């Protein structure tokens, strides 16, 4: 028996296959029509984690390679967020501009948090520490950008007449969009707020469990988890703020009343 809580091997492969089948069956029988996306997501996760695990064996030994890997994570996050916010595939015209705009929100949320954590010395400046922390924060900023952007798109599409009415009353385009869309964008912060409020009472998240499994004390585990949760909350608030402003200024969604 190794030190890991989950040992790679045949039992793990069987359980993963059964869990994927259960999720796919639920997606089909429920009428949600998500059986194919579930199966594809599980297969992609397996392939990607296998590849990343192999790459990280070499990358974490070098701080420069670790920084390059973080840059790749940020790029992928920006591409994903751009597609979610606009609803357009990567091959559609104007992809570079859309990804660059989404990167402003993702990086604007993640970069200050990662910089502050590293500059304070709270997390050691080593690849094996930088990559996980940066990955968690970038992932949170990506999710917040995607959720806020999609909700803004849906809200502004459904309430286009209200935006036009606000413009007719003399509001500036930015103010008219914010008046209608800002409350909807704020709902993207509900998951991180709930997670932070209920930590330890409902769940013990990954950072806490990881430190415990690594032999750390409950106090050290709590400190690590608190750093992650508050850092995520800060990154997600910044990301939602930035993407909301970008939408209001006509930088993200085409066709809004101006």
pLDDT, tens digit, 9 for 90 and up, residues 127-149: 888 898 899 999 999 999 999 99
Same domain, 87 and 11: no
The answer as to whether 85 is a domain residue is: yes
Amino acid 203: pLDDT = 67
Same domain, 190 and 105: yes
Given 30, 59, 88, which residue is the final one in a domain?
59
Q: Are 149 and 84 in contact (CB under 8 A)?
A: yes
Counted residue by residue, the chain has a size of 258
Same domain, 72 and 50: no
Amino acid 88: pLDDT = 87
- Could you tell me the residue range of the domain that residue 26 belongs to? 6-59
Q: Are 74 and 110 in contact (CB under 8 A)?
A: yes
The answer as to whether 126 is a domain residue is: yes
The answer as to whether 101 is a domain residue is: yes
Amino acid 101: pLDDT = 94
**pLDDT tops 70 at residue 98:** yes
Alpha helix positions (H), the chain:
10-29, 35-59, 63-86, 95-120, 127-158, 160-168, 173-186, 190-198, 206-213, 218-248
Given 59, 81, 104, which residue is the final one in a domain?
59
d(CA 250, CA 240): 15
Same domain, 146 and 23: no
Amino acid 33: pLDDT = 83
Amino acid 2: pLDDT = 47
d(CA 76, CA 121): 27
Given 18, 35, 59, which residue is the final one in a domain?
59
Same domain, 55 and 72: no
pTM beyond 0.85: no
Same domain, 49 and 145: no
The answer as to whether 258 is a domain residue is: no
Phi, psi of 172 (to 5 degrees): -65, 155
Same domain, 54 and 154: no
DSSP 203: B
Average pLDDT over residues 85-106: 91
The answer as to whether 253 is a domain residue is: no
Same domain, 14 and 121: no
- Per-residue pLDDT reduced to its tens digit, 194-221: 888 887 777 666 666 666 556 666 777 7
Mean pLDDT for the chain overall = 86
Place of tokens 């912060």: 189
Question: How many domains would you assign to the chain?
Answer: 2
Place of tokens 């104007």: 94
The answer as to whether 1 is a domain residue is: no
d(CA 121, CA 217): 20
pLDDT band at 1 (very low <50, low <70, confident <90, very high): very low
- Per-residue pLDDT reduced to its tens digit, 9-66: 888 889 999 999 999 899 888 888 888 888 999 999 989 888 888 888 788 888 899 9
Amino acid 211: pLDDT = 63
How many helices (H) and strands (E) in the chain? 10, 0
pLDDT band at 174 (very low <50, low <70, confident <90, very high): confident
Amino acid 77: pLDDT = 96
Same domain, 81 and 154: yes
d(CA 145, CA 185): 9
56: number of Cβ within 10 Å: 17
Same domain, 42 and 73: no
Same domain, 121 and 94: yes
6: number of Cβ within 10 Å: 10
The answer as to whether 257 is a domain residue is: no
Same domain, 153 and 210: yes
The answer as to whether 29 is a domain residue is: yes
Average pLDDT over residues 66-77: 94
- Contacting residues for 13 by C-beta, under 8 A, at least 6 apart: none
């Amino acid at each position: 028996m190794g030190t890991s809580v989950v040992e790679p091997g045949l039992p793990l492969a069987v359980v993963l296959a059964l869990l994927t089948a259960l999720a796919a069956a639920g997606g089909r029988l429920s009428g949600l029509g998500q059986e194919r996306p579930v199966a594809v997501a599980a297969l992609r996760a397996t392939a990607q984690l296998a590849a990343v695990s192999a790459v990280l064996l070499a990358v974490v030994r070098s701080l420069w390679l670790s920084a390059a890997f973080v840059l790749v994570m940020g790029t992928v996050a920006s591409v994903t967020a751009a597609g979610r916010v606009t609803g357009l595939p990567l091959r559609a015209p104007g992809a570079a501009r859309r990804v660059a705009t989404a990167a402003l929100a993702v990086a604007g949320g993640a970069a200050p948090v990662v910089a502050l954590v590293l500059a304070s010395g709270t997390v050691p400046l080593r690849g094996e520490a930088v990559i996980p922390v940066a990955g968690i924060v970038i992932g949170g900023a990506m999710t917040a950008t995607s959720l806020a952007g999609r909700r803004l798109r849906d809200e502004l599409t459904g309430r286009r007449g209200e935006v036009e009415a606000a413009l007719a009353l003399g509001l500036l385009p930015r103010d008219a969009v914010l008046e209608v869309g800002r409350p909807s964008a704020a709902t993207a912060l509900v998951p991180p707020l709930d997670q932070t409020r209920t930590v330890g009472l409902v769940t013990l998240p990954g950072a806490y469990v990881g430190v415990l499994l690594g032999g750390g004390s409950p106090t050290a585990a709590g400190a690590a988890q608190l750093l992650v949760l508050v850092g995520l909350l800060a990154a997600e608030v910044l990301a939602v703020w930035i993407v909301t402003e970008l939408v209001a200024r006509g930088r993200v969604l085409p066709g809004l009343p101006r």
